[in-house]
Structure 1
Amino acid sequence: MSGEQRTTIELESVSEESESESEDGNGNGDHWSMFVAGDYALSRDEPPTAERSVSRALRERIDATDVSVVNFEAPIVADDARAVDKSGPAIDNPAEAAAAVADAGFDVCTLANNHVRDFGPDGVASTVEALEAVGCETVGVGESHDAAFDPLEIACGGASIGLVNVCEREFNIAGENSHGAAWLSDRRAREAIRDADREFDTVIVVAHAGAEYVPFPAPELQGLLREFVDIGADLVLGHHPHVPQGWETYGDGAIFYSLGNFLFDSMADSENASWGLALEIEFDGPTPVTIELVPTETIGGVVHPLGQVRDLDDHLAYLHRLSELTGDSETLEPYWQEIAIQLFYERYSNWLHMGCGVNLSRARSAPNDPAVQRPIWDLEARRKEILALLTIVRMESHRWVMTKALAVLTGETTDLRTPESREEAQLLLSRTAR
């Protein structure tokens, strides 16, 4: 993929409205800008600083905008904090990460993500406290499930912006009376967006969701994020897959399905997960009018504007192709079928096998043999495996992948794949594999 690629997206529906009002002498208000970045999680030997984590060029760009937002992926906890019993790694940010993210120029940290509660409710509370102490506002978590959905109000350019932050469910969701994250599938997510649409001039939803290391959103996730636009969101901005995905203008809004990683130390050596997509959004009062794509790459633990070691035009062409395929649901479907089947064979069949017991067939044939039975039915001994099984059947994106793959493989859903779509889907998937 080569050739010069455009980096600015005009939001035509709202731009036309803005131009019409300007012609009548009733412009929407002051022009202002917002910088939005993806996942941020540090784990390095030396204490992090802004200078050692974000390049001067990016810091200057972030500082030049009026509001800047990043997903603070992992909690800040005490040295003696204990991780919760969960599937997958429990990660935390060092204490210095709060100052580092603030000094890099970020004003707002979204916290609704799958790692925020890795050290329990107390870890959520200590993270909010640490970030607020350095001047960063937070959103997406609360001391109760209801409170987690409270939007963050941003006043800029004579407009009021409501920022709602939600995520998929793993081991991270707030309890009715304990700190945690806002769950995107809960009815309260839709209520929060509708309420924000009535209260604020503009609504932005940040959604931490999707299957990891794939180039497309599941059609079910696409439908859900489109619904968010239908009920009041002007922009929906996603992350969690650790790789950038495409975007689309939909209805009266725009959806970016995944910004990927901004700076994620544990993936800094990964060819496909050490670059991402940030956005610079220009507003006319409450109206988003243009979005500039800002691809980034991590080099030696520092995130830079993309183009030092990677080909910028090639990566932009790749992103535009993803967007072309994503924006049409019928076009997306055969590509997603191919990816879902590939993921099922590579990931989920193994996880299901492990969670159900590697000797399940032997257990059925020898029900009275303790040596065979114990590894399977002793759930305490197999707790980690059972927790992994819980994750893949409970988390929406995992479930959507498995459902799609099995529906196509059994003929319950029409197989729409063609040799051409399968070949291109595999090529695109190769650019996201970890």
Structure 2
Amino acid sequence: MRILITGDLVVNQYYDATANINQEVIDLFAQSACNIINLEAPVTESTSKILKTGPHLKADKQSTLDVLKRLNIHIAALANNHIKDYDEQGVLDTIDFCVSNNIKPIGAGKNLEQAASTTVLDTPEGKIALINIAENEWASAEENTAGANGMNLIKDTRAIQQAKKENDFVFVIVHGGHEYYNLPSPRMQEQYRFYAEQGADLVVGHHTHCISGYETHEGTPIYYSLGNFLFTKSSPNEEWYTGLVLEVSIQKGKLETTLHPVSQAKESFELKLLEGSASSELLEKVAAFSKIVADENKLCKEWAELVATRYKNYSSYWSPKIFIRNRYVSALLNKLGLTFTTTRGLAYYLNLMRCEAHRDLSHAVLQERLKK
């Protein structure tokens, strides 16, 4: 039995699926018993944008449907940071869109209980449990509100353990990581390995818009990021246009994985399988990232370099000047190196974020303030 899992898919404009998806891609998906994509944008007519940081994404309904049908998609993973960009209605509309087109939605729901529910595939090779989670940004479901299945280590561990008792295989699909960074943070690696230790037979990640490495931990393959699959939005980042399709083969209780490199054209977003030297080069990059993933010292060194690279940006997020809306004034302050922060103030910020009790209250208070 073959299962395909892809990275991010967003079709936010008119897209001719017949002309722009190469036959080799069609054939690959046609030969698979189950195809799973990360549907990154809500399919909705809602115009009610939520308050958030970052862009609001919305899928083109007809073009998205054309792509999903052309690729024979069976399951749409909805646990991601954009599924609630157009509020609860956008989430519910997307779920309805999937169901009405015979596509199983996972990782989102009308409330947290539904969003966190485990989906089970009953196959000739056994029962496969699918658990889809996303890091918590603006899309997470709550007890009485629609959204994505937000990451919670205790909740997710219990789900994995229970699924392992009742099924033959457990796949954990995670939307998370650092955008445009090809490696997991040390925390990510520890957490994904922990999922494996708790019973996951496969851990797959996406969100970063670039490919990453992989490893096998206690017999469980962990793929940290598949990169983009099809994302019809231009980017200056070259890695935006390449990605990986993960093939999972199960036979007689044994699970094996294979990567298929793909690319999309910069203007037409023509989707094709990479072949020859182009395919080899991308897989060589994956192998290089995987060597770093396997070496704790190298991974920590790369992480330290990322922290240094993004130091100024993240420092500015904790500065009062973040509230200055005039970009010219903000740019001038950046140029002058003025942050309006003190050592004592930064110590307060760190402790509010680091201490579990303070973080609980800070999170609850800020949520309430944003509701007003």
TM over 0.5: yes
What does residue 36 of structure 1 align with? 5
Q: TM-score, normalised by structure 2?
A: 0.83
2:270 pairs, out of 287, 295, 302, with 302
The question of whether the paired residues in 1 share the 8 Å contact of 2:141 and 2:149 is answered with: yes
- Cα distance between partner residues in 2 of 1:73 and 1:169: 15
Assess if the C-alpha contact under 8 Å between 1:275 and 1:306 holds in 2: no
* Runs of 5+ consecutive residues of structure 1 not aligned to the other structure: 1-31, 360-375, 377-388, 400-434
Tell me which amino acid in the other structure corresponds to 1:34.
Answer: I
Q: For 1:18-417, what aligned pairs fall within 5 Å after superposition?
A: 32-44=1-13, 46=14, 48-78=15-45, 80-96=46-62, 97-267=64-234, 270-288=237-255, 290-299=256-265, 300-307=268-275, 311-345=278-312, 347-353=313-319, 356-357=322-323
TM superposition shift of 1:149: 1.1
Pairwise CA distance, 1:179: 1.1
Amino acid at match of 2:309: Q
The offset of 1:272, in angstroms, is 1.7
Q: Report the number of matched residues.
A: 327
The CA distance in 2 between the partners of 1:102 and 1:196, in whole Å, is: 30
Name the CA distance, whole Å, in 2 between partners of 1:182 and 1:103. Answer: 28
Tell me the distance in 1 between the aligned counterparts of 2:289 and 2:146: 37
Report deviation, 1:356: 4.5
The CA distance in 2 between the partners of 1:66 and 1:273, in whole Å, is: 28
Contact map agreement 1:146 1:188 (CA 8 A) in 2: no
Same amino acid, percent of matched pairs? 26
The alpha-carbon deviation at position 352 of structure 1 amounts to 3.2
1:267 and 1:306 map into 2 onto residues whose CA distance is: 20
Q: Distance in 2 between matches of 1:136 and 1:166?
A: 18
1:138–1:152 Cα contact (<8 Å) kept: no
Q: Give, in whole Å, the separation in 2 of the partners of 1:297 and 1:342.
A: 28
The one-letter code sitting in structure 2 at the alignment partner of 1:88 is G
Superposed displacement of residue 270, structure 1: 3.9
Q: How many Å separate the matches in 2 of 1:135 and 1:287? A: 29
Letter in structure 1 aligned against 2:131? V
One-letter amino acid matched to 2:126: A
Secondary structure in 2 matching 1:341: helix
User: What letter is aligned with 2:221?
Assistant: A
Cα drift, residue 190 of structure 1: 1.4
Higher relative contact order, structure no. (Cα contacts within 8 Å, ≥ 6 residues apart): 1
Q: TM-score when scaled to structure 1?
A: 0.71
* Structure 2 unmatched ranges of 5 or more: 326-339, 341-348, 360-372
User: Is the contact made by 1:183 and 1:189 (CA closer than 8 Å) also made in structure 2?
Assistant: no
Q: Structure 1's 113 and 50: CA in aligned 2 closer, same or farther, altered over 3 A?
A: same
Larger Cα-atom Rg: 1
Query: Cα distance 1:70–1:285, how it changes in 2: closer, same or farther (>3 A)?
Result: farther
Q: 3-state DSSP class of the match of 2:238?
A: coil
Query: What SS class does the counterpart of residue 239 from structure 2 fall into?
Result: coil
Q: Distance in 1 between matches of 2:295 and 2:230?
A: 31
- Aligned equivalents of 2:58, 2:321: Cα separation in 1: 26
User: What is the CA deviation profile of residues 64-116 of structure 1, one whole-angstrom value per residue up to 9, with x for unaligned ones?
Assistant: 011111100010111x5211111111111111113421322211110000000
Amino acid at match of 1:94: D
* TM-superposed deviation, 1:268: 6.0
- Quick one: structure 1 residues 248 and 116, their matched pair in 2 at CA, closer, same or farther if it must change by over 3 Å? same
CA pair 354-259 structure 1, distance change in 2 beyond 3 A: farther
8 Å Cα contact 1:165/1:206 also seen in 2: yes
Superposed CA RMSD in Å reads 2.3
Cα distance in 2, alignment partners of residues 73 and 199 from structure 1? 29
Is 1:151–1:162's contact at 8 Å kept on the other side of the alignment? Answer: yes
Measure, in 1, the Cα distance between the counterparts of 2:208 and 2:69.
24
